[in-house]
Amino acid sequence: MKKVQLRIWRQRSQNDAGKFSEHNVDYEDDMSLLEVLDILAESLIKKGEEPFVYDFDCREGICGSCGLVINGVPHGPLKGTTTCQLHMRHFNGIASITLEPWRAAAFPLIRDLVVDRSAYDKIMSAGGYISVDTGGTPDANCLPISKTHADKAFDYAACIGCGACVAACKNSAAHLFVGAKLAQYAVLPQGQPERLRRVIAMTEKMDELGFGTCSNEGECEAVCPKEIKTEVIAMMNRDYIKAMLFGA
């Protein structure tokens, strides 16, 4: 067993003051960070204390539930990795780990390490889809799509909606998230009919919900667990200008 100090952000609600609570815990290298939190939370319950809350679900890096700012970096030290996939060996025997929630005006805090990311759903419902009803669709092979475009579409669609890009951005901009969804549809023929309407609808909603503007620092790309590139933001801006000039 090795020892590490965990500094965990505790905050009852958005309106309460928050502070760090410090815990010295034992761990083994093959434990995941979340498993260390599980053990700590369980030991607090044993003592009759209410444990800190943190979101998780699949623990396979795909659902996007988990997300902690770990020593100042969303999802921690390993590139292209979600919080749940971080194991203690990845910290190389570090003495202290500080855990904080995503901090952004558009993601109000719920409690401790849990924030409200429903703003993402609101952006999606504003236009993050191709308007097609169930039934009456043509045979899937009627629409040839080049492998290059299909692969690109997948790269953009890989976004897990975790919110790390917003948490990493000093402006709390959601451009990488919104850009990724727009880019997925923009490279596919199915996405063309609504392409310009979509960029207007989603970006307006994004602004309305209190996300900031992009100042091209690239922090979002650096922390994205699915390694989505800022090229999607360029595509979004280009389409936005087109929509403004020529109408959606």
Angle 175-186/195-208 helices, nearest 10 degrees?
A: 170
Nearer to other proteins (CB atom), residue 109 or residue 214: 109
Pairing mode of beta strands 2-10, 73-74:
unpaired
The distance of closest approach from Cβ of residue 100 to other proteins in the complex, given in angstroms and rounded to an integer, is 18
CB-based contacts of 117, cutoff 8 Å, min separation 6: 102, 107, 161, 163
Q: Which is nearer to other proteins, 78 or 234 (CB)?
A: 78
Tell me the closest approach of the beta carbon of residue 20 to other proteins, in angstroms. Answer: 20
d(CA 90, CA 47): 30
Nearer to other proteins, 158 or 217 (CB): 158
The minimum distance between CB 93 and other proteins, in angstroms, equals: 14
- For residue 69, the minimal CB distance to other proteins (Å) is 18
Give the residue with the Cβ less far from other proteins, 62 or 200: 62
Q: Are 5 and 23 in contact (CB under 8 A)?
A: yes
Q: Which residues, 6 or more positions from 85, have their beta carbon under 8 angstroms from its beta carbon? A: 32, 59, 60, 61, 78
Residue placing its CB nearer to other proteins in the complex, 86 or 173: 86
Nearest distance from C-beta of residue 173 to other proteins, angstroms: 20
Q: Which residue has the tokens 């790309």?
A: 221
Rounded to the nearest angstrom, the gap between the alpha carbon of residue 83 and the centroid of all alpha carbons in its chain is 11
Residues in Cβ contact with 7 at an 8 Å cutoff, skipping those fewer than 6 apart: 20, 21, 22, 96, 97, 98, 99
As measured in angstroms, the least distance from the Cβ of 216 to other proteins is 27
Maximum alpha-carbon separation in the chain: 64
Helices (H), the chain: 33-46, 118-127, 147-157, 164-168, 175-186, 195-208, 219-223, 231-246
3-class secondary structure per residue, 31-60? CEHHHHHHHHHHHHHHCCCCCCCCCCCCCC
Q: Which is nearer to other proteins, 148 or 216 (CB)?
A: 148
* Placement of tokens 């390993």 in the chain: 78
Give the residue with the Cβ less far from other proteins, 108 or 218: 108
* Smallest distance from other proteins to CB 215, Å: 28
